[in-house]
Structure formats: C-alpha cells, structure tokens
Amino acid sequence: MGTGFIPSLRNRLLLVVLVSWLIGGTLAYWLGGEWQSALPLLALVMGALMSLLLTTWLTRPVDDAIKAMELGLLNLIDNDFSVSLPQSKDPEFRRLAELFNRASGELRRERQHIYQRELLLDKVIQNSPNLMLLLDGSGHIIYANDSARHALVDGKPLTGMTISALAGQLDEAMARMLLEGSDGLFALERDGETDTWHLSRGRFHLNGLEHQLILLKQMTRELNRQEVAVWKKVIRVISHELNNSLAPMRSMVNSGRVLAGRLEEPRLNLIFDTIDKRTEHLGQFIEGYARFARLPRPIKAAVDIGALCRELQLQLAFNIEGGLPAEPVWADEIQLQQVLINLLKNAHESGSAPGDVSLSVRRQQSGESGVLIEVNDRGPGMSPEVLSQALLPFYSTKQQGTGLGLALCREIIEAHDGRISLQNRSGGGLQVQLFLP
C-alpha cells in the first residue's frame, strides 16, 4: 500500500508561508471591512506572490544542501568514497557537511588500507609453495594459486572446474585424498622418487554460503631436514661419549709406554703402538662424523663455475660435457667444491673408466630457474634398494665406507635450497643431478 504524495521540505515551507500569509491578510481585510474595493484584493494577491518568491529564494540553499547530502549518501551506498560535500553558508548544514566529509575520508582511508592488505595477502598466497584451492558449496573451484595451477595442471586455469574433474587428471593417491574429504599424509611416486605430501582442509561460511579451503603441502624436504637433524643429534651424542673415553685411553697408552720402557719388553711397546694407532683411527673416524654434525650454514657468493671446474680437473680426471655458463653460480664455493669432489671420487671408485667420468653444467630456464649440475659415470649403477637409501647417513655399500659422502652432499645442497637426485643411466652407470636455484 502506497504512502501517497509527500511534498519535499522546501515545498512544505513554501506552502506554510503562503497559507499563513493568505489567512493573515484575509483576516486583516475582513476585520477592516474593506472588501468592497478591488484594490485591497489585488494588493493581497501581489503580497502573496512576493512572499512566495522571497521564500523560494531564501529556501534554495536548504534545498541544495539536502540534494547534495542525498547524492553523497547514494555515492557511499555505491562504495564511492571520493565525494565531498561543499561547505554551506548555513551553520547547521555546514556542520553536517563537515561530518559527512570526515566520515567519507575515514571510509576512503580504510578502504585503501584494506585494498593494500588484500594485495599483500594475494601476493603472499600466489608466491606460496603450498597448493591452495578454494571451493564453493557445490564443489567448484573458485580460486587457485599459482603453485596449484602449475603443480596440478601445468599452469592451466582451474577456476570453474569441479574437484571431481580435477581429480580425474591427477595421480591416484592425490585424487583419492582430494575426494575422500579427510586430512593426512600420502606419498606420490614420481620419476623414481617418493614425495610425501600433507593435505588439510577447512570449511567456513562466507556471505552465508559454505566454502572449503584445501591446502596441499610437500613435506619431503621438511621430513628430510628433521631426519638429518635427528642424525646430527645422535652423532653429537656418540662423538661426545667416545671422545670422553678416548682421552683417558690415550693418556694410559703414554703411561704404559713409559713403564714398558723401564721393563725393556718389546712386545709391550708393540701392544701400546697398536692401541695408539687404533685410537688414532677411531678419533679420525669420529671427527669425520662430527664435521657432518656441525656443518655451517653456506655463505653464498658469486662463484665462477668455469674456474672451479678447471681447478677440479687438476685434482681428478673427468670430461666436461657441453659449454659452461658464463654467468656465476650463487653458492658457497668451498662447500660446492666439496660436493663435486665427493661425487667425482665416487664416480672413479665405482669402477668406471676415467674417460667415462663426466661433468656438465647448464642453466635451467623453464619452470624453476637455476643451475643444473650432472656428474655421470659408466660403473655398475645402483640397485633400487641402494638408490632409495644412498643419501641417508651411515649407509654405505663400501667395505671401508663411512656412509657420509652422499649424505654430506645432500645436506650441503639442501642448505642451498637446492636438491640432489640419483638415477641409473641407460647403458649402465649412474647420474647424480644437483639443482641450485
């Protein structure tokens, strides 16, 4: 049901003034008894018109201020906070205009602040290594960050696709985790390597509608770091206890030699010499593990990879395949040299002919940019069981091996935020790949 026609404030003021003037003038002339002449009636009409014009002129600022306020409020409703009201001559309307402009300014600054925070949040999400998918209540993907697009569909758009359609394009393990609706760890087999992932999801309501956020995080490197941290702690404890035992043994050997010299018994000297050699060997053995346990963080700088390779060729025989990049590699030169020496020594000790040991360095531009270093040999390679454990500390197939060479290489490369991988070559031999971002 309508409310009927309601005149504006200005029209109501005009109507009140006009009616009041007519009533007052009519009563005055009626009481004065001067209705017989047409002149007073004409004067009454002229006075009413003059009063109407004067009132119209006086109320125009009020009408302009109300219209400006109405237009400003409509702009605020439309999320346009750039409007400001002009200053009115009327004190009351001037105060209203000042309050409106203050409120509009605060809203404008708040929106700018929110916009900057949204840009920052979007930048963080887009550059996050974690895979993020936002689904609506019907299971359609309404947002996916860059990591999710590149890891799941090679950079193609995901918006609008259902989670079921996406699962049909993924590995069985990941598809099962996406569709089951549960959180947890799962493993993916890719290129002969096992990657561990963690999936978590959360449900929430946004604007009254149900949404679901899926977060996929690769845990392989984190688990490896935790594993290495545990190994280091074990090594530190063992080294401490063994050193505490070796110190008095060495002291006792020296004291025994003094006593043996007084007795002039050669066999005792031979016994003490043997004990001294074995304790010295054990000390060196412990020191090797201790160096692994206290490996310092890399101090990265520009490394001339060509000069480094030529220096290594003075120590070990190997061929350089392809050209070497002119751009420097960003790494700790001492630690990188140690890694390459270990790998080249392993290649020679594998039984490969020296002429079949090679090293190549090339820039990788597609995907993650960085430097790819490969060390190749033509030895017997590794069995699948050995490949899966070769990078673990203490694991070695050599009779006198300590099991630290490849583990130390992995620790150094991962400390550079890189990665190391091993795979058998077609035709025989092993290839070790190092990637440095």
Does the pLDDT value for residue 158 go beyond 70?
Answer: yes
Sorting pLDDT into bands at 50, 70 and 90, what band is 25? low
- Average pLDDT rounded to a whole number, residues 145-167: 85
Does the pLDDT value for residue 5 go beyond 60?
Answer: no
36-45, 244-253, 329-338, 410-419: which has the minimum mean pLDDT?
A: 36-45
Q: What residues have CB less than 8 Å from 195, skipping those under 6 apart?
A: 187, 188, 218, 220
Based on DSSP, count helices (H) and strands (E) in the chain, helices before strands: 12, 12
Q: Report d(CA 15, CA 98) in Å as an integer.
A: 30
DSSP codes of every residue in 52-118: HHHHHHHHHHHHHHHHHHHHHHHHHHTT-----PPPPSSHHHHHHHHHHHHHHHHHHHHHHHHHHHH
SS3 content of the chain, % helix, strand, coil (to 5): 55, 20, 25
Identity of residue 97: A
Phi, psi of 358, deg, nearest 5: -140, 160
119 or 27: which leads in pLDDT: 119
User: pLDDT tens digit string along 107-144?
Assistant: 888 888 888 888 887 787 877 778 888 888 888 888 88
Report which of 346, 338, 330, 418 is spatially closest to residue 382, judged by C-alpha positions. 346
User: pLDDT tens digit string along 371-398?
Assistant: 889 999 998 888 877 777 777 666 666 6
pLDDT value of residue 1: 42
Topology of 301-436 in CATH? Answer: Heat Shock Protein 90 (3.30.565)
Does the pLDDT value for residue 400 go beyond 70?
Answer: no
pLDDT value of residue 26: 61
Q: Report d(CA 138, CA 117) in Å as an integer.
A: 29
Sorting pLDDT into bands at 50, 70 and 90, what band is 366? low
Quick check: pTM over 0.75? no
pLDDT value of residue 9: 53
pLDDT value of residue 126: 78
Helix (H, G, I), strand (E, B) or coil at 208: coil
Q: What residues have CB less than 8 Å from 28, skipping those under 6 apart?
A: none
Report which of 413, 436, 434, 433 is spatially closest to residue 298, judged by C-alpha positions. 413
Does the pLDDT value for residue 51 go beyond 80?
Answer: no
44 or 5: which leads in pLDDT: 44
Residue indicated by tokens 């009020």: 62
Q: What residues have CB less than 8 Å from 251, skipping those under 6 apart?
A: none
- Average pLDDT rounded to a whole number, residues 189-210: 76
User: pLDDT tens digit string along 109-119?
Assistant: 888 888 888 88
- Average pLDDT rounded to a whole number, residues 21-44: 56
Q: What percent of the chain has pLDDT over 70?
A: 72
Structure tokens at 58: 């006086």
* Mean model confidence pLDDT for the chain: 76
Sorting pLDDT into bands at 50, 70 and 90, what band is 6? very low
Sorting pLDDT into bands at 50, 70 and 90, what band is 402? low
Choosing among 2.30.29.30, 3.40.50.300, 3.30.450.20, 3.40.718.10, the CATH entry for 128-218 is 3.30.450.20
